[in-house]
Every structure is written in C-alpha cells, then in structure tokens.
Amino acid sequence: MRVQRRKRPINGRMFAVSAVMVLGAAMLSGLFYTMPVLSDAMRRAAVVSVAVAMPDISLDLFEERLRTQIYGGEIPGVIHESTPFLPAPEPLPADPPVDIPPQNPLLPEIHAPSMPAPAAPQNPVRIPRVPERYAAPIINENFAGRDGGGMLRHDNIFIRNETDLSPDGVLDILEEPMPLEFHADGRPQVLIVHTHATESYERYDSEFYDIRNTWRSTDNNINVVALGTVMRDVLEEYGIGVIHDTTQHDFPSYNGSYERAARTIKGYLEDYNDIQVVLDLHRDAMPRGDAIIKPVTMVGDRKAAQIMIISGSDNGSLNMPNWRDNFRFAAAFQSYMEMEARELTRPIYLSHRRYNMDITTGSLLVEIGSNANTLEEAKLSAELAAHALAALIIENSINTSP
C-alpha cells in the first residue's frame, strides 16, 4: 500500500527569506558572468580553479559561459532542453557560383572556368528590419594572423599557442613531416561529422542582428550540416571518398553531444579502415558586449567566413598520444587553405583539449565563421576549404596505379 506523506505547512517568513536568498544568488551569478571588466587573467584563474574537478566537456561549457553575455536567459552557442528552435525559414537565394582561378597546378579541372556565369538577380533580397528594442550591432573583423602580438608564425600560417609548450617547442613539432598518406582511388578517406549540428547562421548580411535569435536550427539545409554537404560534394568531384554523417548529436539534448559523436566516429572507423581524416565542423559564437563579431575576409568581391582550426594537445592527463601528428596535419591543411585564398583562416588554436581528437590521427575541430556570418559566407568558405583539402590529399597520395 502506498503511503502518502502529509505536507508540512509552509512558514511564510521562511519562504520570504528563502526567496530573497535565491534571488540574491541569481543576481550575483548574473553579475559575475556579464562583468565587462573581467580580465583575461581572472578568466584563466576561474577556469583553472575548476579544471581539476570538471571533465573536458563540462570545462568547455564553463569557459563558454564565462566568455559570453546572457541574451534572454540563454547563452549563444549553447543549447538547453528549453531552448526554442527557430522554425525553418523560406529558402535562401541560391548561391552564385564561384569562379576562382586555380592556384594548384594539380587541380586545374575543378576550379571551373566552365562554371555558368552568375545570373542577374531577379528579385533583390529584402532584409527585414529588426525592431529597435531587439536590434544589436554586428561588427565585421578580419582575424587573419599577424606577426607579433604573441602569435607564432610557421611559413604562411599563424598559431595561437594556449598550451604550456614554449614557442620553440611548438614550432619544432612542425619541422617533422605530416604523417598521413592517402589513396586517391575512391575509397573513403575523409569522415565529416557534426557534434553540434544545429549551429546555424544569420540569414542576411546586415549591420544588426535580432537578440531573440538562438542561431540554432534542426533544418540541415541552413545549419552546419549544409557546410559538410558542400565539402563532400567538392571532394567527391576529385574522386576522393567521403562519408558525411548528418546526425544531430546536440538535439534534443546539448549535454552529452561529444560522447554521442564519439560513438558515431568510432563506428565508422570500425567499418572503414581507410579513413585518414575526421573533421568535426562547427560554427563559432563571438560576442563583444552587446555586439557580435563576424570574422570575415574578401574573396574577390564576395565575403567569406574565416575558418579556425582547433588542434588539441595533451598536457599529460588527456591520453592523446597522437596529438602532435594531428597538429602537423592541422598546419598542412591551414597552409593549403591559405594558398587557396589568402587570409581565409584565423590562427590555429592549439590548446589542451580533446574534443574527440584523441580517437584517431587526422582528427580536427573546424570552426567556420561565427553566428554573425551568413550561410552564404560560410558555404563559400566550406567550398574553398574542400578544394584545399583535396589538393593536400592528392599531393600526399600513394601511387596505386599498376
């Protein structure tokens, strides 16, 4: 027989005191997370103070919370169970084809002068006006690496070193050759996945964004899955075998995304022994006060979202024996992207993080643009990155002809 407990009557004074205490704690917490004067040193101290007690993924969420402002109770780039998803909007205008002259003599046939010329727009895109009370600025910035400012330079690429390795120690790793060898014969060589598949972009190139936007969508035509599709199509044009997994590992729950993605990756590696590259495509979130930052460069007369590679490293406790090989691959990939389009990339972010890069050699996390970039800008960058990766694979392929 089920026994029902009698509810203890609520003391009005105790309830009032408790409510005040909870409200005060919430206000202090919000003040801490949104303090504009929080210095980089204080941020690092806060992150280090919890690093021992928190796993890799929890630490990632903590640091993201620490570096973002609170918009309507939600954090840009982080999904909660209660986060509303945007309904799928009407289709975006078709992307005009890109006619980029070949920069690699091995790849003249894909950069197609034969591509059809852009058709004259029939109906110019009308950007809806954001109500003033919901409008906040978008800031366009170019984050290409520059000499000085703490950045490390290796040939035509730059590295942001957030590890405990010395600058010379980082650059010494890159003196060794890239360890990967490919077979450009159609067998699957590249696996593209999306740990946070629902990350999406601005719909229009505008000076303002709507603070009600969650930059999340389950429509794979407008989130980062669409970028994976672009990369797959370009690589397959070169005869390179690609597997593009479209699983939304972050929906319906954001928590556990990396664990679910890890199971997906391991499953493919068991079934396809020839996979050499695993790319986890994301988009960044870059708030600055009330504004959000758009990392952008010009390719011809078109805007392209800048790309940042995150390369994980081992501080002795992350069990990443192959991280140096991953870093060498990251540097090679970045170099080819810079040859494809100058200033397409932001500096490589070398840090003591795993992000599933411990699973296999050739694993990288790739951030294409931020939540301020448009889908068109991000897709252009994905196309350029795929051309660069194709050149890298072909030039490092074993001759399998008889």
User: What is the residue-averaged pLDDT of the chain?
Assistant: 78
Residue 6 binned pLDDT confidence (cut-offs 50, 70, 90): very low
Domain boundaries, the chain: 15-66, 134-395
Look up residue 213 and give its two tokens: 């936007």
- pLDDT tens digits for range 311-327: 999 988 899 999 999 99
- What pLDDT score was predicted for residue 124? 56
Look up residue 321 and give its two tokens: 């024996």
Residue 184 binned pLDDT confidence (cut-offs 50, 70, 90): low
| pTM score, whole prediction | 0.72
Residue 252 binned pLDDT confidence (cut-offs 50, 70, 90): very high
Segment 17-38 shows an average pLDDT of 44
Lowest mean pLDDT across 94-98, 164-168, 212-216, 328-332: 94-98
Segment 187-213 shows an average pLDDT of 95
- pLDDT tens digits for range 85-99: 333 333 333 434 433
Residue 303 binned pLDDT confidence (cut-offs 50, 70, 90): very high
pLDDT of 28 over the 80 cut:
no
Q: Which residue has the higher pLDDT, 145 or 7?
A: 145
pLDDT of 114 over the 70 cut:
no
Whether the upstream peptide bond of residue 252 has omega within 30° of 0, thus cis, is yes
Fold of the domain spanning 134-395: Aminopeptidase (3.40.630)
Q: Which residue has the higher pLDDT, 135 or 51?
A: 135
- pLDDT tens digits for range 325-359: 999 999 999 999 999 999 999 999 999 999 999 99
